[in-house]
Amino acid sequence: MVKEKLVKSLWRWYQNTLSDRSQVVEVHKMATEGLKNVDKSKLPGKFKIWCLQFGLYPRLIWPLTMYEVALSRMEIIEKKCGAYTQK
């Protein structure tokens, strides 16, 4: 049942409330954890940017296109990524 377990249909996860809020929170967590993992790596700066551009960003694009993400949430994610690339 949907109340007990998430249901995946057409590459999209649904729960009993049928809202995208929990999935948007998951995307935010994924972005934050991805930034932390790239930052922890012992690679030089330009390779960290490469990891963001070709590793993290492509993994975030699909969920961001599938779920309705509020502009304010997107700005928070963008600021974190932007602050990281400015280091």
Share of the chain above pLDDT 90, in %: 5
SS3 20: coil
Report the number of distinct structural domains present in the chain. 1
Residue 27 CB-density burial (10 A; 0-12 exposed, 13-18 middle, 19+ buried): buried
Q: Quote the percentage of the chain above a pLDDT of 70.
A: 70
Mean pLDDT of 4-16: 65
Look at residue 77 and tell me if it is in a domain.
yes
Q: Is residue 5 domain-resident? A: no
Render pLDDT for 41-74 as a digit per residue (tens, 0 to 9).
898 888 988 998 899 889 888 888 877 777 887 7
Domain-embedded: residue 1: no
**Is the pLDDT at 13 greater than 80, yes or no?**
no
Give the start-end residues of each E strand in 1-87.
7-9, 12-14
Write out the residue range of the structural domain in which residue 28 sits: 21-85
Q: How many Å apart are CA 22 and CA 36, to the nearest integer? A: 21
pTM as predicted: 0.67
In a domain, 4, yes or no: no
57 pairs with which residues across the strands? none
What pLDDT is attached to residue 25?
A: 81
| Cα–Cα dist 18/12, whole Å | 11
